[in-house]
Structure formats: C-alpha cells, structure tokens
Structure 1
C-alpha cells in the first residue's frame, strides 16, 4: 500500500504544486502508518474503516497528548485523499473495486467532535471594523487591509508594486509567496487560473497603498546600500520580503492582542469579507470572481457564514409577518 501511495503522489505531482503534494503526503501519514504494510490487492473495506475509526479515536500526534482524538475534519480530508488514490488504482486495473468507496466517519464520532471541539469563528463585521480602526498608524496598514478585502495571505505577500496601478486604483494577483511546513518560502503562480484576477481598490486601501509606497521610498533613501530592492509590496524597513508566517502570526496576531481582539487566522478575515459582500447584495458570480474561485457554489458554501446579527433582518421581517397576523385576528 505504501508503494502505491508513493506512486500515486508522483503521478499527482504532474498536475498539482509542490506545496499541495506536501499537504497530501501529510494528510496520509496515518494511512501510511496503519495500512502501508498491507498488500494493495488484500486491502478490504473493513481494514479501511478500522483505520478511520482508529484515526478519530487516537490519531493526534502534536498540539496535545499523543494517542488522543483527531479532528473529524482532518480524518475526512485523509480518507478523501486515500479514496482518490484507490480510485486511480482501480483505473489502472490494479484492484477490481475501491475498498474506501463507502467508508465514512461514523455519525457518533461526528456528533462527538461537534460537541467537544471548539471552532474559532471568523470575526464579525464589528470586530473587523475595530481592527481596521486600530491599525491605521501601523507600518503594514496597507497589507493588512488587503487581507481584509479578501486576498489570501499568500497573495498579499506575493504582490509586487508592478502588479499595483496606483493611478487607476487596481491590483492584479499573478503570483503568491507561500510556505511549506511553515518553514520554507515558495514563490509560485496563483493556486488556480481563476486566482489570476484584477481587482479594483477600495478607496481606503488605495490611499493606504499610496502612503506605503511613499514610506518605502523614504526607507530606501535612509538605508542606502543596505536596502534590498525586491519589488514586493510587503517588506520590512530594509526592503526584505515578509513571509506569510511573519505577516499573520508575528505581526497580525500581535496587533490583535494589543487591541484586545480575538486572535483569529488572518485567512479567516477572508471569510468575514466575503460574508459581508454577500450580505450587502453583491451577486454570486461577482463574489466568486472577487475571491478567485471558478465555482460560485463553493464560494457560498465555504466562505459565506452569516452570524446571528446577519440574521437580524430576517427577525424584523418575522415581526412584520406576526404583526400582520395579529391585526387580522
């Protein structure tokens, strides 16, 4: 089984990027451990189901006590990848059918996971607005605003001044700077073709980028030969590019703490942004294009999360309905 997974990952590497392959291999680590020794042709549905149940019950390796419960979402991600690998084995006629086809995390385990695992919610609109107000004097004000208008952290860190038109007020996302295993910086194209997009700049972001451009010119003059003219928008005082870990964990999280706000992933600001756009009448196809997605349904399902305040308007409508009923009675 381990040999086939290795072969499948080599085949996948032809179609997806190195960072994604790293994620695939990481998600399959428990499968390698539990089923890697099994002969591919001997694998049964019961073996796969037992692997899934064991992963849920005692799969955690880090960020907690080894041998404790693994998040159901992590297990589902792993079994999805494993199912794909076995489907390819069926296509190659190495096995007659996919033994993982009907394997799922049990309903009992899914319910237990929802009860026990605390999920950090994206910021509300109020929290986003408080953060924006609190970072106005921060050196990286403009890059943080870019994150708060729906760009991925890797897109923000990969943005070059050549991609920004400060005359027309637009930016183009053509490359990213991401990290593998939170250690190695990788510069690459956007994740998908839809990720290559031109976005108009909101007025506040436009002005913040103008100020950042001027500030960097002054920093370059002051630093002289010590300055690194990398061309990236997000750089430190000496022009050295900032990576995603530095932007989101070292900088954004520090600011969140100083402002007394919940520390959330900077990526989750993307969810808040797209939810706000959806709640304010932006059409679905525009929402997907802004997010850099090809599938409108995916954008709505994964990124639009109305909270209780977003639902308040529905309560007001119900008041009118109930009032009408009372008047008629």
Structure 2
C-alpha cells in the first residue's frame, strides 16, 4: 500500500493498493515503479474503469454537451463496431499503443462478410481506406484525450502517427472528371428537376449537405453574385437525436432521417461566388418551384429551401446521391461520387488563375495548406498549364 496524496474533492488520503503478484520480487518492482510515478507527479487513479466503460461515459457526456448528432453517430459506430469489441474489457490504465496498432492492422485487411457489422454498416466496402482507418483512431484519440485531462491516464496511446495505418498514396489516384466530361453530364441532366443542384455542385463546389440546406434567403438579392452557406441538412437516424432535435425549426414536425444544422466550422460558414451558368440555372429552377408551390397550394410545406421535394419538404441527402449515381451510369461517364464534383470545381478555379488562398475560402477549408493537401492531384494540370503560359514568351522567341 502506497500513500498517493490527498483527494481534492473529499480531502481524504489516497492509498494505492496492488495485489496478485506471483513473487515478492514482482511486488517490490511494481511498488518501486508506483512510488516513482507518485514522486514524479504522473501517477493517475483510473478508478478501476475499463476502456469500454470509459467510452460509454465519454459518449454520454458528449450527448449532454450537445455535440453534433452526425459526429456522435460516427463516434458511436466506431465504438460499437471496433473499440468496445476489441479493447473494451481492458483496464483503461493497461491500454497500450500496441493494442491500438494491432486493432488498426486488423481494420486494414480486406473486409469479409463474417466481419461486417449488422445493418448497413460496411455492406458496400471491400477494404477500408487509410482515411477511414485513421478516422477510427481519431475517435479513440479524442476519448483518451478527455481521460488524460481527467487524470485517468498519464499519456494518450492513440496520439500521433500509427505504423499500422497504410500510406495514403493510393487515395490520390481518385477519378476526377475533365471539363468536357462535366459539360457532358450537365447536358444530360439539363431537363432533370434538380438540374440546378448539379450546376451548383459543378461550378461552386458545394458539399451535399450544403446543397440540401441552401435557402433562397442565403442567396444575394436577385440571385446575384453569390450565396452564403449558413445551414446544412444531414442524414441522421431518429434514434440518434434527442426529442428537441427531431422537431423541424420551420414546420414543427419530424423529418425522418433529416436534420437542419449549422456548418460545423467557421470556415464552413462562407460566401461563395456564383458563375453565370449557375445563376441562370437557379432562375429557371425558381420558376419551376413556384409552379409546384401553386400546385400544392395550402399543402405546400415552405422551408425556404432552394432544393427540396415537390411539396417543399427537405430532401434526403442519401436520395440525392442515388439520383446522381443513376445519371452518371445513364450517360456512360467514369464513376465518381457527388462529392468529387468539388474537385472539378476546384480544378476550374485553379486553371482560371484564382489564387489558392481564395480557392481555400470558397471551398470552405480551414487553411490553404488543407486545400493543397486535398487537391494536390487536381492541381497538377492547372499548374502545368500556368507554367506553359508563363514560359510561352521564351518559346516564341526561340522559334
């Protein structure tokens, strides 16, 4: 038994007890290490809590503090599918970096049917990407950072680069449409009810949640030079929401799986310029929407949304993705995600000579460094074109 100081909350002396050693030498060695930790001021009392118990407590605290439902849903999925099954029974103080490395290495292997979680989790994934694996690590890192601040552990074993996470070089080889392919897609969807949504995705680089949450009041007067991102619509199951979060702020009803929320960062709340084709598409879209509104009459559910269902209710973001994928297949273009249209918009801006700092603000990144990292693969062609244009004078003189 070792005296570990006074508990500031109760004023009582803390006494460190350990047992279960096979030999006297093991006990003395453990006591020496414990005394050294106490004297160095790095001893912690984890109160006997397990990793699984701490993760449950951490999630409950995030819910009480009003953390974003979408973020909470991701955290819960990571805890449920990986961290509790793999490491939940370990004592929190016994968790080591090797345990985390081993679990991350398992996540990097091909996903087989027997390993997939119940429900829709992982149904379409053959192998997790390095970014996905690092997402699991970041969840655990966040939980352990809180434990460290509470004095339950002395260091965070999930901090820093993990050798088990593969390099991300392969992720840079993603498919990006060339401008002529984007033009072909926009021609294909010109008569679609949501044609203007695809125009904004291609020219302004808005995210899916931003497109679904865009309001007419967010546009400059008269569909002017630009728009301001002030809200998004994300897809979250009702079970992940509190009763208050389920109530729509516009119509006071529930929209299953859809939640209005503010952008999650200051960089996300931004002004975005509108290209002329996008403005023209919005004007035509507005006219069609007014016809739909007149058709529904008093049954129209006005949410001031630019893109919504025919009755005015918010779109389900997942349905937008499904519709986009169907159009891509129908016009025979290389398969890309709706989110990848942001890369095309970024390419157009860079090719047009828009400074990287301005592109960063338009795309909603926290800094130009993030823009360079995310779009390094699409900057190559724009950079090559700019270099060729800059050296054209010397080339003409040589000729």
TM-score grouping bracket, smaller chain normalisation: 0.7 to 0.9
Shift of 1:188: 0.6
Higher CA-based Rg: 2
Q: Secondary structure at the match of 2:337?
A: coil
Deviates more, 1:174-183 or 1:306-315: 306-315
1:27 to 56, 64, 78: 78
Match of 2:287 in 1: 214
TM-score normalized by the length of structure 2: 0.70
Match of 2:18 in 1: none
1:140 to 165, 175, 194: 194
Q: Does 1:199 align with 2:272?
A: yes
1:235 to 295, 308, 311: 308
Structure 1 pair 21–125 and aligned structure 2 pair: CA distance change class (3 A): same
Match of 2:378 in 1: 306
Q: Does 1:74 align with 2:132?
A: yes
**Structure 1: distance between partners of 2:281 and 2:365:** 26
**Structure 2: distance between partners of 1:70 and 1:80:** 15
**Structure 1: distance between partners of 2:354 and 2:360:** 10
1:57 to 92, 104, 109: 109
Deviations along 1:182-215, one digit per CA (max 9) or x if unpaired, are: 9711111112122222223211111111111111
1:248 to 314, 321, 344: 321
Q: Does 1:259 align with 2:331?
A: yes
Q: Which residues of 2 match residues 1-329 of structure 1 at below 5 A?
A: 1-13=51-63, 14=65, 16-28=67-79, 29-57=81-109, 61=116, 62-63=122-123, 70-101=128-159, 104-106=162-164, 110=166, 120-148=174-202, 149-164=204-219, 165-166=221-222, 168-180=224-236, 184-249=257-322, 251-306=323-378, 309-310=381-382, 313=385
Shift of 1:231: 1.9
Aligned residues: 318
Deviates more, 1:184-193 or 1:161-170: 161-170
Deviations along 1:148-206, one digit per CA (max 9) or x if unpaired, are: 22111111111112222325343221111111269711111112122222223211111
Match of 2:26 in 1: none
Deviations along 1:80-101, one digit per CA (max 9) or x if unpaired, are: 2212322332222211222334
Q: Secondary structure at the match of 2:365?
A: coil
Shift of 1:34: 0.3
8 A contact 1:275–1:305 mirrored in 2: no
Shift of 1:304: 4.6
Deviates more, 1:167-176 or 1:262-271: 167-176
8 A contact 1:173–1:198 mirrored in 2: yes
Moved over 6 A (4+): none
8 A contact 1:124–1:307 mirrored in 2: no
8 A contact 1:52–1:105 mirrored in 2: no
**Structure 2: distance between partners of 1:224 and 1:49:** 59
Structure 1 pair 76–199 and aligned structure 2 pair: CA distance change class (3 A): closer
**Structure 2: distance between partners of 1:307 and 1:196:** 24
Q: Secondary structure at the match of 1:289?
A: helix
**Structure 2: distance between partners of 1:201 and 1:71:** 34
